[in-house]
Amino acid sequence: MGNIVTRGIRGAITVARNTPEEILAATRELLEAIIKENDLDPEDIASAFFTTTADLDAEFPASAAREMGWKYVPLICATEINVPGRLDKCVRILVHVNTEKSQRELKHVYIGEAAKLRVDLLPQ
């Protein structure tokens, strides 16, 4: 058994409209993809940090994680820096996980228009 360390997994997804339903559905889709791609169990998750662009304020994206059963995982939300000309209606997530995997083994997930944020991390 290797050393367990805390590492970060990034992800982002865009939302069509600023509604609670769309924010929660998109966040859930992103979290489910991160979990699947990295074979995670909620017990492995140390914490998660969610940000939204300033145009998404109808719901806390962390509420989607709570609905998925992340009862004991520390979660926090914030507003992303409002840089002119950048991607609108975007939910970003940084999940901290306790893992034996190296940084290169972790899979970051970018869905929809958010895929252009980190083209370098997308599967080849």
CATH code for the domain of 55: 3.30.1330.40
The predicted structure's pLDDT at residue 83: 87
**Catalytic residues, which ones?**
10, 66, 77, 80, 92, 110, 118
Q: Which pTM value belongs to this model?
A: 0.91
The predicted structure's pLDDT at residue 2: 73
Number of H helices, E strands in the chain: 2, 5
- Tell me the pLDDT of the chain (124 aa) as tens digits: 579 999 999 999 999 999 999 999 999 999 999 999 999 998 999 999 999 999 999 999 999 999 999 999 999 999 999 888 889 999 999 999 999 999 999 999 999 888 887 666 655 5
Query: How wide is the angle at C-alpha 68 spanned by C-alphas 91 and 58, nearest 5°?
Result: 40
Residue at 124 is within a domain: no
- Separation of alpha carbons 54 and 68, rounded Å: 25
Which domain range does residue 114 map to?
5-119
Residue at 79 is within a domain: yes
The number of distinct structural domains making up the chain is: 1
- Separation of alpha carbons 88 and 28, rounded Å: 19
